[in-house]
Structure 1
């Protein structure tokens, strides 16, 4: 699985229509991308074409860097259509780069990143909308590993995403999510080595149930 630079497409969207954002595609790589326009939209298509040519046994994704998704999902739908996300094999979205317990500390901003059922439902609806608009499944990446049995010390911060996702797999599948990739984006967070065995035990238990059908 190839997921080109996660944040890049969000920065492109902040500049406007990807077809109007200058970028070299055919100009720098006429061998592989001669037919592509010299814009961010052409660059995204060029990257997918190169993945198909040079790594044919991989799948290539488009990362949903929709920083405004909570209030402007239609703009994200339009932006990714212009980027050519329909040419990729899947979409990718990151849940959170750090544990909610880390973010909750005053030294780290004191913000609330724990999931309520309402927050989870909103996120799943966004993933579902994007999957259906593009016609590709979603893979969730950078899911924090913490759990509520942790004590909010170094590498042992609390979070609720692992337990929520494993406890609601039918809803996850209904949002056209085809994969869950766990791991933090910063070294102070809870890891699979420090979570008390929670992620491994949840994974084994889920496997033993036979899993959930993709939708």
Structure 2
């Protein structure tokens, strides 16, 4: 959660829109319209891409973080106060993971930022609002209201692949609670409920990460959720 906060709170004084065409993870910040996008490598070798609205001057906002493990975290700030009350996060994971890092590029013709996840999915962000406006492989619903009572304000429907909806939690990442419930959903809409601890483990400092490779996750789900279809890589 601390890394997430650092990604979404850093607002450098100057940044310029450029294209991002390679898979390399470079520490960089760019701006276009109302969007600030940041790519950041970490000491552990992970790579993140975050998207936020740099023109906003309120502590009520929504930002997005894409990670190399297929994670999309939607971060909400509800105002001032203790983190446990004034923030919340919704998490989705998609599979299989085909690329090393998330990447991004600017589409000036239609005035949007396009983030490509490690699965290869494209996420579109509107220049003016800096909010998620669509995907190439799913229907996206984004609430205009930022509140603790709408599960992060983003829903991904009819995803054409395998998605894990890890839910919403105030104050920290929902995947940080091993006994919390989560749900896998495949392209046919078949779902299977699991516990977070079934597929996540934790680093010494408490950060959650998926304990299976895609191949081993497919094997696990074949036993745990035999009706689910794991997409071909």
TM-score by length of 2: 0.26
- In terms of fraction of residues, the more helix-rich structure is 1
TM-score by length of 1: 0.27
User: Of the two, which has the highest radius of gyration?
Assistant: 1
- In terms of fraction of residues, the more strand-rich structure is 2
